[in-house]
Structure 1
Amino acid sequence: MKAISIRQPWAGAIVHQSKRVENRTWKLPASMHGARVLIHAAAQPDRHAIVYGPHLDVYGAIVGVATITGCHWAEKGRLCGPWSDDNAYHWTLDDVVALPEPVPAKGALGFWTPNEETVNAVLRQETGVAW
């Protein structure tokens, strides 16, 4: 299983709010279309972001799981929702589940593979979602 690191408050907005698009400068690899991925709250926040709500203060941990259902490029003014940015690839997310307890993990750029201990700690949590 792969993971993707996302800065807070965006990781928290994905797993605890209605953010169902991840804005990226790079296109989703074809092999990741339809993949179930771990959502990792990066160690550093996006200091320019303004999002309010609970669960946005967790850093350096797996906080949820999601399925990446698609990817498209958004030209200026062609946004697919309130969380989307201009001139970015929009990765669409579905079947998002927040973990009851964040699992500490060191993240990385791009898609990365968590160690077995981290994956097992995620799998032990009752999320109600089949892997």
Structure 2
Amino acid sequence: MRALTIRQPWADAIAHGTKRTENRSWATPSKHLGTRILIHAAAATDKKAVLPPEANVGRAFGRIPIAQRSAIIAVATLTECHFDKGMQCCNPWGMDGYFHWTLTDVTALPEPVPAKGALGFWAPTEEIVNAALRQETGVAW
């Protein structure tokens, strides 16, 4: 199982809100489409983040608990990837000129699982995967 690191508040908007599009400058490797991935909240925040006013972000902006940083906070299925060339698809979360990665079946974890992230897809330890999936399903993998 792979993890994807996303800066706050975007990771929180995925885990606890309605954000189901992750904007990236690169296409999803096809081997990851249709797989479950761990959503990792980066230690750093996106200081330039402007959340869409009409979007449900789940929590008040700026009130994200410190435990929700540098931790696995959700599990999701990565189902699709397409490039937005001015189509204004995936509103309000999709950005023009980026690849849109579609996330479905998002499950927020009741307790964040501390983990150091990395760029791109990365392989968490078996202990981290099990700690996250136990919360999602009640069963270790």
Q: Same fold (TM over 0.5)?
A: yes
Matches of 2:8 and 2:106 in 1, distance apart? Answer: 16
Aligned residue number for residue 12 of structure 1 = 12
1:121 is aligned, of 122, 126, 131, to 131
Secondary structure of 2:14's counterpart equals helix
Identity %: 55
Q: How many residues align?
A: 130
Residue 120 of structure 1: how far off its partner (Å): 1.8
TM-score, normalised with respect to structure 1: 0.91
Measured after TM superposition, the shift of residue 81 of structure 1 is 1.6
Does structure 1 residue 49 correspond to structure 2 residue 49?
Answer: yes
Aligned partners of 1:74 and 1:56: how far apart in 2?
A: 29
Contact preservation (8 Å) 1:42, 1:60: yes
| Structure 2 segments unaligned to the other structure (5+ residues) | 52-56
Listed as ranges, the matches of 1:30-45 within 5 Å are 30-45=30-45
Corresponding letter in the other structure for 1:49: A
Q: Distance in 2 between matches of 1:94 and 1:43?
A: 24
Q: Is the 8 A contact 2:39 2:74 kept in 1?
A: yes
Q: Distance in 1 between matches of 2:26 and 2:134?
A: 32
1:28-64 deviation digits (Å, cap 9, x = unpaired): 1010110100000011111111346257342100000
Which of 84, 108, 111 lines up with 1:74 in the alignment? 84
Give the structure-2-normalised TM-score. 0.85
Q: In angstroms, what is the RMSD of aligned CA positions?
A: 1.9
> Which stretches of structure 1, 4 residues or more, deviate above 6 A after TM superposition?
none
Q: Determine the C-alpha separation between the residues in 1 that align with 2:70 and 2:50.
A: 20
The gaps in structure 1 that reach 5 residues or longer are none
In the TM superposition, residue 122 of structure 1 has moved relative to its aligned partner by: 1.1
For residues 50 and 87 of structure 1, what CA distance do their matches in structure 2 show? 17
Aligned partner of 1:88 in structure 2 is 98
Quote the Cα distance in structure 2 between the aligned partners of 1:121 and 1:82.
32
